[in-house]
Structure 1
Amino acid sequence: MDRVMKLASNTAVVIFSKSSCCMSHAIKSLFYDLGVSPAIYELDEEPKGWEMEKALQRLGCNPSVPAVFIGGQLVNSANTIMSLHLSGRLVPMLKDAGAMWL
């Protein structure tokens, strides 16, 4: 859990993902399209990815990926991110976290 929280607080936007997850791909694409460069950790490629995935589940991520942190705070799932984006609340969050300046 400590490793996940440390990684999540090092960059304005952090995405814990799996390279084979289509929803993770969609969320990463959304952030790239918005001009955001998130730190991405592919749990299926990380040496301790399984432990990190269990920590994300303990934090309430279900499913465990994609798990998105903005400004060090867990924003959670793809559904939450898409809802924030469609309601116009995602971009202000990203600006507040210093992830984008437009």
Structure 2
Amino acid sequence: MDKVTRLVSENGLVLFSKSSCCLCYALKILFQEVGVTPTVHELDQDPEGREMERALMRLGCNVPVPAVFIGGKLVGSTNEVMSLHLSGGLIPLLRPYQSISN
């Protein structure tokens, strides 16, 4: 739990992922398209990954990955992020994390 909390508090945009997850990949592409670079933490490549998955579930994630945090707050998984994007609410949240060239 401490590692998850620390990663979320130290980074503005965090994506907890698994390298083989197609939904995680879709969110990585979405973020790339809108000009942001999240801190991506691949749980399947971390020895504490299973513990981190349990911590994410305790924090309110319906599924452990993908899990997106913006500004220290849990946004959710693919459905929540895509719904937010389609309703026009995602870009304003991401604006502080966009590169200057965008």
Length-normalised TM-score, structure 1: 0.93
More helix by share: 2
**C-alpha RMSD of matched pairs (Å):** 1.1
The corresponding residue for 1:71 is 71
* CA deviation profile, 1:16-59 (whole Å, cap 9, x unmatched): 00011110100111001111010000000012111101100111
Percent identity, aligned pairs only?
57
The corresponding residue for 2:25 is 25
Runs of 4+ in 1 over 3 A off after TM superposition: none
Aligned residues: 100
Length-normalised TM-score, structure 2: 0.93
The corresponding residue for 2:11 is 11
Structure 2: gaps spanning 5 or more residues: none
Are 1:99 and 2:97 counterparts? yes
